[in-house]
Chains A and B, each alone.
Chain A
Amino acid sequence: MTDLYQTQRAMRNMRRAAMQRGVIAILDVGTSKIACLILRFDGEARLREQDGVGPMAGQSQFRIIGAATTRSRGVRFGEISVMNETESAVRTAVQAAQKMANVRVDHVIACFSGAEPRSYGLAGDTDLADNVVTEQDVARVLAACDVPDLGHGREVLHAQPVNFALDHRTGLGDPRGQIGNRLACDMHLVSVDGSVIQNLLYAIKRCDLELAGIASSAYVSAISSLVEDEQELGAACIDMGGGATGVSIFMKKHMIYTDSVRMGGDHVTSDISKGLQIPLSTAERIKTRHGGLFATGMDDREMIEIGGDSGDWDKDRRQISRTELIGIMRPRVEEILEETRTRLDAAGFDHLPSQQIVLTGGASQIPGLDGLAARILGQRVRLGRPLRVQGLPQAATGPAFASAVGLCLFAAHPQDEWWDFEIPAERYPARSLRRAFRWFKDNW
């Protein structure tokens, strides 16, 4: 645990160094595409309303000066499966983005969707040394949270303090400077498979880049596609990517739950490919051009040329109706949404005051998805697009770039994590002296 703590602290320092240098790269390692954005920091941010303990990691305004995307290679379910392929795809994206920005970047903040994220709610409390809450006390209460057994080979990706309570008052964003006796905190912890992080680290290191931060893509796409009141009142963001579908629930501007379904748009494509006996590239094209989820009478008459170059005239001149295509796509999309529903139910999403659901990600562009999702997930469903950020090319404003844009926001305004605080100094002698002093005071 401490090892990871040190790693994450090292990443924070790297990020600080990158901010001083003024340039940082954003890398979204997805199953279907790898996007690389290059940010230039424009100095200190205007004051954002304070949220959480405060900007421990430093904030900044930024502008996107380079952007490139490339077809992803060697990534399955949001995890790296072929190292060489992924490495060369990352190189391609980074090189093109550097060329556009005309600047060299050395630091990268990356996100990925796979690695089976699991989220835990942690609670801890501590007595205050003197009645005023200091930063040291916050660190102590965070360290006092009892971490459950994460399982073998799993590591912490996020550990964010979500809520502080001082004596009987709860819902404190920033307890520092307040008077009380007992400080308690709730922490949200996301654990992922450690080997996936190791692979990503290794792939990025082989590209001569240094990792300045790492984030779950479900989290960052929610940052970019949920609007402020949704984040405040409670909402779920469903990031439908190529190989994995991320679910994250936000409440009071903090992520309180995240999970991922290991299915996505690529599975729809492979269904079409298998069902129609066509290559994956053709299936992808047909899905993109003609795909849909609700069949109408008109769709029976809309015939789609499948094409092929098998040499068999019959096979190469096949046509299917759009209804057939929808018939193939819909069960898989339904399955994904059902699975998502299960995850939301398990998280107790029903009990939230507001149950807004936002669909984003590349696969959310299937026509009719909002209607189907409304049937399965509930009425309050909308399609989300990422926030506008300065300098973003028009082509990168679609929902497929929600996590890349969210990662930009994450890079500029990271939320405080556990590792932003110093390890609480172990002050046993002082404490025992104080205890002795108190005993004397109480008894005489």
Chain B
Amino acid sequence: MRSLSAPRRHDFEPPLSAPRRMAEPPMTATRPAYAAPAAAATPRHAVEPPVTAPRRMADAQPQPQSQPQPRRPEAPAAAPFAAAPFTAAARPVPAAAVAPAPMARRDPAPSRWAYRLQRIMLTPHLRALLRFGLPSFVVLAAVGLYLSDDARRGAIVQVFTDIRQKFEHRPEFMVTLASVEGCSKDLAEAVRARLGLNLPQSSFDLDLAAIRSRIEELDAVKSAELRVRSGGILQVLVTEREPVAVWRTAEGLTLVDDTGHRVAGLYARSDRPDLPLIAGQGADRATAEALQIFAAAGPLLPRVRGLTRMGERRWDLVLDRDQRILLPAEHPVRALERLLALDHAQDILSRDLVALDLRLDSRPTLRLTPYALTELRRSKGLKTVETDL
């Protein structure tokens, strides 16, 4: 009963009366409770009949020992340097050294499992995993669960599609008109038909490159430029192919440009008498050379019927009176110029020739008509045995 101490010396009375006095208010104020061991207190109260219920409860409850001694606070033993070392030694001596403690004080030491748990939680990998891995896993799992439904996924996609649609179909971006410029009216009609657009249409939906290649598929179109002008106009600038020659084939007449590309078909040669005529297989691929030959033919032009491509290799210049000038595969223009010089000097083309072979540079060869040939032989006094044929 060491906690049953009386505050003043002469107030000491037999212990039987002590509980009654301590129930008085001032006593309880100075000493809020006392920590007599229940086992020690019980026999005393057993011999004391008039005990009030509250007192018995106060006695029966073992109070923590630290409570009646507020002036000596017990610092938690494990506080990291809560006090200077020497004062730290002033804390209660080890439990082993204390006389058998009446009350079990809370052990500041962690239990083995608490200790182990703390160590596990301090493991760096685990900490990283808990800090970053777990939240990201939870977020991913939530997102995955949400998106696992087809309808939800569709709805999300729909929202974005709608926004995009709304933006693209604003009036600023709509193309309402297509204007085709830089070509004849017929070609413009053809180009317009070729565009195949159902206007108005958003300019985001227009594939200009595809449209351009589609237009350029037309034979008569050399190149096309497309641009979307402000005001919703799709401007198509077309460059037409210029026909420079008429190419006669077995199928019919074709207009070709200087690269030999087909421009259009032609019903009759008389529709384009201004263009020179070329013929023969592969003539279109050598159109440029043909044009050079025509340009060099100068004074011969009124007599020229056309050029025939021979063996996809060289040209024959066909004149009227069924005369042919066989040009070499290499440097036909030069050979033609030499012929013109010869013609100028000796008036050779007006003679009675069938063909003039210029294929060998150093030896132009004439083929006379049969009549001319016999006349020539006769004049030289040669007798032949063959017939006129």
Known: A89-B109, A207-B115, A280-B97. A309 touches B83 (CB 8 A): no
Does any Cβ of B come within 8 Å of A310's Cβ? yes
Most buried by A among B6, B89, B95, B118: B89
Known contacts A88-B107, A281-B93; A95 and B80 CB within 8 A of each other: no
With A281-B92, A313-B9 in contact, do A288 and B87 touch (Cβ < 8 Å)?
yes
Q: Which of A64-72, A197-205, A320-328, A343-351 forms contacts with chain B?
A: A64-72
Indicate whether A424 reaches chain B with its CB closer than 8 angstroms. Answer: no
- Interface contact A362-B109, CB-CB below 8 Å: no
Measured between alpha carbons, how far is A60 from B8 in the docked complex, in Å? Answer: 65
B9 neighbours in A (Cβ, 8 Å): 313-314
B3 contacts across to A, CB distance below 8 A: 309, 311
> What's the Cα separation between A306 and B90 when bound, in Å?
14
Select one of B80, B91, B118 contacting A68, CB under 8 A: B80
Is residue A150 contacting chain B, with contact meaning CB distance below 8 A?
A: no
Kindly state whether residue B381 has any CB partner on chain A within 8 Å.
no
Q: Tell whether A99 is near chain B: CB-to-CB under 8 Å.
A: yes
Q: Chain B: interface secondary structure? A: loop
A398 / chain B contacts, CB cutoff of 8 Å: 84-86
Give residues of chain A (44-91) contacting chain B, Cβ–Cβ below 8 Å.
67-75, 81-82, 85, 88-89, 91
B side interface size, CB within 8 A: 47
Check A365/B86 contact, CB under 8 A, given A91-B109, A98-B122, A310-B2.
Answer: yes
Contact in complex: B91, A71 (CB < 8 Å): yes
Structural contact, A68 and B124, CB atoms closer than 8 A: no
* Known A33-B89, A311-B2; contact A72-B122, beta-carbon cutoff 8 A: no
Q: How far is the CB of A308 from chain B (nearest CB, A)?
A: 9
Query: B155 on the interface (CB 8 Å rule)?
Result: no
Please state if A284 and B93 are interface contacts (CB–CB under 8 Å): yes
Q: Are B77 and A401 in contact (CB under 8 A)?
A: no
Binds B, one of A100-108, A223-231, A330-338: A100-108
A281 with B88: CB separation less than 8 A = no
Q: In whole angstroms, what is the CA distance A265 to B88 when docked?
A: 13
Cβ-defined contact, B108 with A95, below 8 A:
no
Would B89 and A88 count as touching, CB distance under 8 A?
no
Q: Is A248 an interface residue (CB 8 A)?
A: no
Binary interface profile of B, 225-250, with partner A (CB < 8 Å = 1, else 0)? 00000000000000000000000000
- Please name all residues of chain B whose beta carbon is closer than 8 Å to the beta carbon of A285 when the two chains form the complex: 90
* Complex contacts, B77 vs chain A, CB 8 Å: 70-71, 92
Given contact pairs A314-B9, A398-B86, A73 touches B80 in the complex (Cβ within 8 A): no
Q: Is the CB of A91 within 8 A of B110?
A: yes
* B96 engages A73 (CB within 8 Å): yes
Q: Are A309 and B5 in contact (CB under 8 A)?
A: yes
Question: Across the interface, which residues of B come within 8 angstroms of A309, CB to CB?
Answer: 2-3, 5, 68-69
Query: Which residues of chain B come closer than 8 Å to A269, judged between CB atoms?
Result: 93
Given the complex, which residues of A lie within 8 Å of B82, measured CB to CB?
A: 395
Residue B116 at the chain A interface, CB threshold 8 Å? yes
Q: Please report which residues of chain B, range 98-115, place their CB below 8 angstroms from some CB of chain A when the two chains form the complex.
A: 98, 107-110, 112, 114-115
Instruction: Provide the residues of chain B in CB contact with A8, threshold 8 Å.
Output: none
Contacts of B2 in A (CB 8 A): 309-311
Report A29 CB to chain B, min CB distance, Å. Answer: 13
Chain B residues lying within 8 Å of A67, measured Cβ to Cβ, are 80-81
> Judging by beta carbons under 8 Å apart, are A88 and B109 in contact?
yes
Question: How many angstroms from the CA of A38 to the CA of B123 in the assembled complex?
Answer: 15
Q: Is B49 an interface residue (CB 8 A)?
A: no
B80 contacts A69, C-beta separation under 8 Å:
yes
Contact in complex: A396, B81 (CB < 8 Å): yes
Segment 7-58 of A: residues with Cβ below 8 Å from B: 32-33
B147 at the interface (CB under 8 A from A): no
Are the C-beta atoms of A71 and B94 separated by less than 8 Å?
Answer: yes
Partner of B78, one of A32, A85, A95: A95
Instruction: List 12 other contacts, CB 8 Å, given A284-B90, A311-B2, A311-B6.
Output: A74-B94, A74-B96, A85-B94, A92-B78, A92-B108, A95-B114, A280-B97, A281-B92, A284-B93, A285-B90, A310-B2, A311-B1
For the complex of A and B, the 7 pairs showing the least CB-CB separation, nearest first, are A395-B81, A311-B5, A88-B109, A400-B85, A104-B122, A313-B9, A280-B93
B contacts, CB < 8 Å to A: 1-6, 8-9, 12, 68-69, 72, 77-98, 107-110, 112, 114-116, 118-119, 122-124
Binding site for B on A (CB under 8 A): 32-33, 67-75, 81-82, 85, 88-89, 91-100, 102-104, 207-208, 242, 265, 269, 279-281, 284-285, 287-289, 309-314, 316, 362, 365, 393, 395-396, 398, 400-401
21 pairs, CB–CB < 8 Å, chain A vs chain B? A32-B89, A67-B80, A68-B78, A68-B80, A68-B81, A69-B81, A71-B94, A82-B96, A85-B95, A91-B109, A91-B110, A92-B78, A93-B78, A98-B119, A280-B98, A313-B5, A362-B85, A395-B81, A395-B85, A396-B85, A400-B85
